[in-house]
Structure 1
Amino acid sequence: MSPEQNERITRVGPGTPAGTLLRQYWQPVALVDELEAERPIRPVKLMGQDFILFRDEQGRYGFMDRDCPHRGADLAFGRLEDGGVRCLFHGWLFDVEGACLETPAEPEGSKLAQRVRQKSYPVVEKSGVLFAYIGEGEPPAFPHFDCFVAPSEYTFAFKGYLDCNWLQALEVGIDPAHASYLHRFFEDGDTEASYGKQFRGASADSSLPITKVLREYDRPEIKVDPADYGLRLTALRRVDGDNTHVRVTNLVFPQAFIIPMSSEMTIAQWHVPTDDGGCYWYAIFTSFGQPVNKQQMRAQRLELYELPDYMPRVGRFNNYGYDAREQATQTYTGMGHDINVHDQWAVESQGRIQDRTREHLGSTDKGIVAYRRLLLDAIDHAEKGERALMMIDETQAGTLTGPPSIDGIGPGDTWSDYWKVADQKRRKSSQWAA
């Protein structure tokens, strides 16, 4: 890849090629939980721009530029009162739609408020995540994916910060081969105690621990197929003559993936740039079986991430918790048993913006190659003012369901049917997905 191409697909500030594209999609900007505090207002940095997100007394969400349109003071410190956010500097008041309700320091009878607006943007809540749209024109519709249509008790949302460019954070999720190495455990744990933990349970339709599959069958055959939403990736590991481990994951354009977490739960995860050198991942966990134990899921993740900003407790600053003895005896990385740490090391160690001119891609990188082609093509369309993949209307959104995301052991000669049958079986037994 040339330096120019690398710049084209990584830089996200206003007016950049990738930034222009990504602004035409809904972006996760906060968890609903983050506005449950006594003072429900937060600063948000998104693609190099500064915003505030708040909830007014009526429960409405507002998302707007952070600098007051009067003289540029910081609205993140504003007072939430009287139907909006009030700037501390001169008391100007703005509602969730950016209308200026009051300019109290002005003379009695002043009409200035009628001529002032703060730039505001649409914001909606989906399954515990607040999404904002900062692009031009009408935003696309939300596809009718499982993570968006499942009842609240069957979903759980969380986030975490990564100190690197959004693109390398996304690309780890469309690389099926890395799991056999980066997430390798030398011993198999108790699969019955794996709730809420990825790659720690048993593969569906078997008692075979996923850890054993990844460790012993480390040369997957990877297939990449185009889909209406982006790409479907299938990783096949031949267990024996009669059985194949089948893992189906999905790239949802432009910057999400949907992957299996366990036999009953999937993860939909977005990678959202704060700027060129940092991003947050936002995940919606969706259960097809029992309602999600949100308290347990949250407690598990707060062992690694620190509030209020969901910053990781390990990172470059403490060598990711690396332990040489552990690396020799327990895990491939020596960085603990939480795979989020493994992924964090992998993507952050590439630098804040990976230099892709130095890459030597292999055959297992075919998903990454296919995605970069989609991305470059979509950037070209966006620069011309044309619609790109997943810029959909409500009619199109209704046709985009699922998508199937399966990790299981199926018949060796009919794996292509297995994942479809397994998906239907899981849906038919679900309280909500049937």
Structure 2
Amino acid sequence: MISQQLNDSITRVGPDSAAGAVLRCYWQPAALIEELEYQNPAPVNLLGERLALWRDDTGSFVLAARKAEAGEPSVYHPGPEQIEAEPGGAVYPVVEKKGVVFAYLGDGPVPEFPNLDCFRADDSHVFAFKGLWECNWLQALEIGIDPAHASFLHRFLEDEDPDEGYGKQFRDQVANTNIPMTRVLREFPRPQIEVDETNYGLKITALRHLENGQTHVRVTNQIFPEAICIPMSREMTITQWHVPVDDETCYWMTMFTSFRDPVNKALMREQRLEEHVLPTYAPLKHKGNHYGYDPKEQESVTYTGMGLDINVHDQWAVEGMGAIQDRTQEHLGRSDVAIIRYRRMLREAIAALDRGDRDALPMQGEETSGIIGPLSNDTIAPTANWSGASREADLERRSGCPWDASV
């Protein structure tokens, strides 16, 4: 457990907050380009600031502070005629990456982008989407760096045909086997977890030791300050930011990256629009309708009884903690090692900024553009050489990629 003062310092995101100062040292995914199809200018609510995004006469993106009405809700979509730039307000640097507009809201030097797979893949191999969660960004991030939760929260009680699971996480077979990923998670729920610090954040390895000297290796990553990179299937990864709207609301902003075939963007968008409403990208399942809970489904299909979309399972878990999780009452255990290590990194970054040492933060130096990957996959490997075999499986996948995925 931690003190209330510390919990406030690592969760609050306003301009004068400790964690907010760290987040403002990095590019933040502000909006999907497609949002300008609904409203131009479009409202952007980011890090507690009310902004407007539009294209100017040259086609360039502009992000500026906008006038906000008294009592305006954090997720509010006024019509274009109601959106006005704040006279004399800040205008922020923006960059478009694979259908997402990134913004830099900080002072000082603008950082480089790391050369992550989601940024260097061909446009045809990346699909972006987002969704709204009514909770603080940190608890949204922390569920993504907890490898053990998938065996319970996302437990499927029956295995469906993997060929019908395109665009859905955990619905594939484990690489080089005919074992459904859902079965591995269900039958081996308590992984051994190893965490390594990297130049981008954390590499998190979950080991589920099977029979006959074999181990299922699942490598995921925390990309500082608020992103994760995880395997979605044998051929696709997810890079997902947990973007603060304000202290009590956030968006998950995700880039799906394919190593082999072009992404079926129309299908993946259709799948996600079945669960979300535009233009807010709010989920159709929420606290007001009990996240679609069905006790009959829970009896034989899923652990939660809340449908097959794992985003709904995560949403229920993180929103159920309250708008800002009360960490003064928590008791972390062995499986929370990645959460513990991440909080230490965040606190060290806060302390570094307090003493004026921004260079001590991850991905703030000249070497940032040289950060590539990261490795993120599922595979079955000999227990005696799981680390080397996992890397070889990743290199094999990259070697046949139509875009430059070399590491």
Are the counterparts in 1 of residues 66 and 89 from structure 2 also a CA contact under 8 Å? no
Q: Match for 1:207 among 167, 175, 178? A: 178
Where does residue 36 of structure 1 map in the other structure?
A: 37
Partner-residue secondary structure (3-state), 1:375: helix
Matches of 2:80 and 2:273, distance apart in 1: 29
The reply on whether 1:375 has 2:376 as its aligned counterpart is no
Q: 1:75 to 1:224 in 2, by over 3 A?
A: closer
Question: What do residues 240-286 of structure 1 show as CA deviations (whole Å, max 9, x unaligned)?
Answer: 12311100000000000000000010000000111110000100000
In the alignment, residue 287 of structure 1 is paired with which amino acid?
S
Structure-to-structure mapping, 1:284-433, within 5 angstroms: 284-387=255-358, 388-393=360-365, 395-432=366-403, 433=405
Partner-residue secondary structure (3-state), 1:279: strand
Are the counterparts in 2 of residues 41 and 76 from structure 1 also a CA contact under 8 Å? no
Where does residue 142 of structure 1 map in the other structure?
A: 113
Where does residue 133 of structure 1 map in the other structure?
A: 104
Matches of 1:224 and 1:284, distance apart in 2: 24
The reply on whether 1:180 has 2:151 as its aligned counterpart is yes
Matches of 2:234 and 2:254, distance apart in 1: 17
Matches of 1:231 and 1:59, distance apart in 2: 38
Structure-to-structure mapping, 1:93-132, within 5 angstroms: 117-132=88-103
Question: What do residues 333-369 of structure 1 show as CA deviations (whole Å, max 9, x unaligned)?
Answer: 1111110000000100000100001111110000000
Q: Match for 1:168 among 139, 143, 148? A: 139
In the alignment, residue 57 of structure 1 is paired with which amino acid?
D
The reply on whether 1:49 has 2:49 as its aligned counterpart is yes
The reply on whether 1:241 has 2:242 as its aligned counterpart is no
User: By how many angstroms is 1:36 displaced?
Assistant: 2.7
Question: Where in structure 1 are there 5+ consecutive unaligned residues?
Answer: 69-73, 88-93, 99-115
Question: Where in structure 2 are there 5+ consecutive unaligned residues?
Answer: 69-75
Matches of 2:61 and 2:10, distance apart in 1: 31
Partner-residue secondary structure (3-state), 1:186: coil
Q: TM-score, normalised by structure 2?
A: 0.94
In the alignment, residue 122 of structure 1 is paired with which amino acid?
P
Matches of 1:389 and 1:210, distance apart in 2: 36
Are the counterparts in 1 of residues 114 and 363 from structure 2 also a CA contact under 8 Å? no
Q: Match for 1:225 among 181, 191, 196? A: 196
Matches of 1:47 and 1:134, distance apart in 2: 9
Are the counterparts in 2 of residues 66 and 75 from structure 1 also a CA contact under 8 Å? no
Are the counterparts in 2 of residues 230 and 389 from structure 1 also a CA contact under 8 Å? no
User: By how many angstroms is 1:125 displaced?
Assistant: 0.5
User: By how many angstroms is 1:75 displaced?
Assistant: 12
User: By how many angstroms is 1:155 displaced?
Assistant: 0.2
Matches of 1:185 and 1:77, distance apart in 2: 42
Are the counterparts in 2 of residues 229 and 389 from structure 1 also a CA contact under 8 Å? no
The reply on whether 1:21 has 2:11 as its aligned counterpart is no
Runs of 4 or more, structure 1, over 2 Å off, are: 74-80, 388-393
Partner-residue secondary structure (3-state), 1:13: coil
Matches of 2:307 and 2:77, distance apart in 1: 41
Where does residue 71 of structure 2 map in the other structure?
A: none
Where does residue 6 of structure 1 map in the other structure?
A: 7
User: By how many angstroms is 1:297 displaced?
Assistant: 0.5
Are the counterparts in 2 of residues 243 and 409 from structure 1 also a CA contact under 8 Å? yes
Tell me the matched-pair count: 396
Are the counterparts in 2 of residues 205 and 410 from structure 1 also a CA contact under 8 Å? no
In the alignment, residue 53 of structure 2 is paired with which amino acid?
L
Question: What do residues 165-208 of structure 1 show as CA deviations (whole Å, max 9, x unaligned)?
Answer: 00000000000000100000110010111110001110111111
Matches of 1:391 and 1:199, distance apart in 2: 30
User: By how many angstroms is 1:76 displaced?
Assistant: 6.8
Where does residue 279 of structure 1 map in the other structure?
A: 250
RMSD after superposition: 1.9
Partner-residue secondary structure (3-state), 2:255: strand
Matches of 1:235 and 1:228, distance apart in 2: 20
Q: 1:77 to 1:183 in 2, by over 3 A?
A: closer
Matches of 2:302 and 2:80, distance apart in 1: 48
Q: TM-score, normalised by structure 1?
A: 0.88
Q: RCO (CA 8 Å, sep 6+): is it higher in 1 or 2?
A: 2
In the alignment, residue 115 of structure 2 is paired with which amino acid?
H
User: By how many angstroms is 1:79 displaced?
Assistant: 6.2
Are the counterparts in 2 of residues 327 and 334 from structure 1 also a CA contact under 8 Å? yes
Judge which range, 229-238 or 51-60, deviates more: 51-60
